[in-house]
Amino acid sequence: MSEENIAIIETGSKQYLVKKGTVLDIEKIETDKESIEFDKVLLVKKGKTTKVGKPYIEGTTIKAKVLNQIKAPKVIVFKFKKKTGYKKKQGHRQNMTTIQIESI
């Protein structure tokens, strides 16, 4: 059984479990580079060794390739109050960045 390298990174106030080759949609990162590095690494597991950060692991970076800048599907926000005739409908599309993890 092969043991894979995994990590937990934090970006955009969210945490993601990643391994090499993982494709993720994360909150938009303003960059014109083709690759980015994540330095907020919470956990790294390589083989049987596991490192846990307090809160982050010093000197560890995860490299990822930027694939695309997209917009997420529309989320509908609907407010309604019965008997008063109050209705309000709004929509929102979040800007997202698609990345692929290259190395841990």
- pLDDT of residue 56 exceeding 60, the answer is yes
**Tens-place pLDDT, residues 9-28:** 999 899 999 999 999 999 99
Domain definitions of the chain by residue range = 6-103
- pLDDT of residue 2 exceeding 80, the answer is no
Q: Which of 79, 78, 74 is nearest to 95 (CA)?
A: 74
The rounded mean pLDDT for the chain is: 92
Residues 40-54 have a mean pLDDT of: 91
Distance separating alpha carbons of residues 81 and 79, to the nearest angstrom: 7
Q: What is the pTM of this model?
A: 0.81
Residues 63, 35: contact at Cβ < 8 Å?
Answer: yes
Residues 50-59 have a mean pLDDT of: 91
